[in-house]
Structure 1
């Protein structure tokens, strides 16, 4: 295959991917608009508005909330706890994943503990976290760290296993120390797997943070704000507005991480396009 044909083939793939993305966005937008229209119609002419307020009212309240400094302070508390826990989970998950993937005897020795801890839902640990950390930000950070650890850990582990054995052996033949092989060969090859794990864990971090605020009665945060609005049943439209903001946060964080992956690992897509 000539360089010119390679470039043409690559351009075609990029154009096809962009066209597919735009088509997906258009279809998604049509689906969202249709769902909003149906919900508005149900609220106006079908369901009790106290249980399902009109979408137009909810969207107006959402627009008011995103410029309300008091509400934004609650959102900032949620984001701070979620991102702090995600950062700690990333450090721990990458470190443990590299260790378990590089030393099989360590993986075998820890497999029982890992398989015992992994299925435990983070919300089941809320009472323990409250006893240990109280109801402040530390409790939320601890729960997020635990919940977000597993996708990063296992993605890193799979990434280490996917490293080409020839690349490792070549580095060792040239006398590269074990730690240098880990830093120069294993970690760069594992980075796309780590990024995918972080993106998955980011959604988990937001879910766990808001859930902990709702269930543990935290002093601040988006979940505690929604809980306060739901008391008495008089502010159902504000509850829905807060929930929409939570969803928009998830979409925004996922979009930012996807954009970061797109820029950081462009080389990987180019290599795949040439094969």
Structure 2
């Protein structure tokens, strides 16, 4: 299927969903204050684009926490993945701890992290980084397993040391997998950014905007409009990262065909 065809199908799916929500809202199965039509929600979302406080305080706070958390996760996960993947003894020693920590939901740590760091940027960044580390870490490990052993042995035969082999053979082969881990982690990080803001009930951010609107009378329109912005932000981030992936690793996509 061509790129245009995929775009058209995706657009049709969005329009059908919006149309169905509009019809349900207009059917008055619930009060319009509790379930407003999609057209009014989208109009409110568009109105928020001109709201200085929403864009430069709430949206900025969420995006800042997401960006710092993702950067911290990459800085932690990639070196750890390279260490675990190239030093078997370290991998074996750390495996039990990793498998213990990985299933713990980040949201379950909100009370503890909030108690230690307070309900500010530090708390959000910590929780986002914790959740985003795992996809990047495990994709780094998967990438290391995909490295051609013959390439490493050839470099060794020509007298290259471990660091040179890592730079010339291991990292280029693992890079597409690491990037995919970053792309997957970016969505998880955004979910954590908004979710933490909603659950903590403090500070700024899209989640705080949604949480505050949810306790107001007739606030359903703002709740849904804020949700549209959160979803739109996630879509933009994913599309940008996908385009970057195809541009940076076009050779990898050709090999996979």
Write the mapping of 1:175-214 to structure 2, written as runs, cut at 5 A: 175-214=159-198
Cα distance in 2, alignment partners of residues 185 and 72 from structure 1: 44
Aligned residue in 2 for 1:125: 109
Measure how far apart 1:30 and its partner are: 1.3
Aligned residue in 2 for 1:42: 24
Contact 1:76–1:221 at 8 Å: present in 2 too?
yes
1:29 counterpart = 2:29: no
Residue-by-residue CA offset, 1:90-124 (whole Å, 9 max, x unaligned)? 11111010000001111111110000000000000
Write the mapping of 1:117-196 to structure 2, written as runs, cut at 5 A: 117-196=101-180
1:62 counterpart = 2:45: yes
Number of aligned residue pairs: give it.
255
Tell me the TM-score normalised to structure 1 length: 0.90
Aligned residue in 1 for 2:212: 228
Moved more, 239-248 or 42-51: 42-51
Contact 1:212–1:218 at 8 Å: present in 2 too?
no
- Runs of 4+ aligned structure 1 residues displaced above 6 Å come to none
CA RMSD of aligned residues (A): 1.2
Residue-by-residue CA offset, 1:198-220 (whole Å, 9 max, x unaligned)? 00000000000101001011211
Cα distance in 2, alignment partners of residues 218 and 165 from structure 1: 51
Which runs of 5 or more residues in structure 2 are unaligned?
A: none
Which runs of 5 or more residues in structure 1 are unaligned?
A: 1-15
Contact 1:126–1:212 at 8 Å: present in 2 too?
yes
Q: Which has the larger radius of gyration?
A: 1
Paired residue secondary structure (1:28): helix
Cα distance in 2, alignment partners of residues 33 and 272 from structure 1: 33
